[in-house]
């Protein structure tokens, strides 16, 4: 998927209320963080700093699940059972539309 197709897909998902604004922001942050390799790791503190303090671990998990349901993201690490407020590392893979 090229960049223009990606923007069109995100626009379609946002217009159809499939994704919330913070979910799109998260996806763009993860996309930029993986530097073109499609695989990445990011600390939850970095996500919270970029998106906002109100973006709790629970909201992060929900956002990741919704991005995965839209075939945009695969989480390759396990979320902590109790979703701690302290920092943890999220491992992920960016998917192209239609991949799973």
pLDDT score at 26: 92
Domain count of the fold of the chain: 1
| Domain annotation covers residue 33 | yes
> What's the whole-number mean pLDDT along residues 70-89?
81
Instruction: Write out the residue range of the structural domain in which residue 88 sits.
Output: 3-94
| Domain annotation covers residue 50 | yes
- Cα 31 to chain centroid distance, Å, stands at 8
Q: Phi and psi (nearest 5°) for 86?
A: -75, 170
Q: What is the pTM of this model?
A: 0.80
17's CB contacts (< 8 A; 6+ apart) are none
| Domain annotation covers residue 99 | no
pLDDT score at 95: 85
């Amino acid at each position: 998927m090229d960049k223009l197709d990606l923007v069109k897909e995100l626009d379609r998902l946002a217009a159809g209320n499939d994704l919330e604004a913070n979910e799109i922001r998260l996806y763009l942050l993860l996309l930029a963080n993986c530097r073109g390799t499609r695989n990445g790791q990011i600390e939850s503190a970095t996500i919270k700093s970029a998106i906002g303090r109100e973006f709790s671990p629970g909201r992060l998990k929900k956002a990741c699940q919704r991005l995965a349901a839209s075939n945009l993201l695969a989480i390759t690490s396990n979320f902590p059972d109790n979703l701690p407020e302290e920092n943890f590392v999220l491992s992920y893979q960016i998917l192209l539309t239609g991949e799973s």
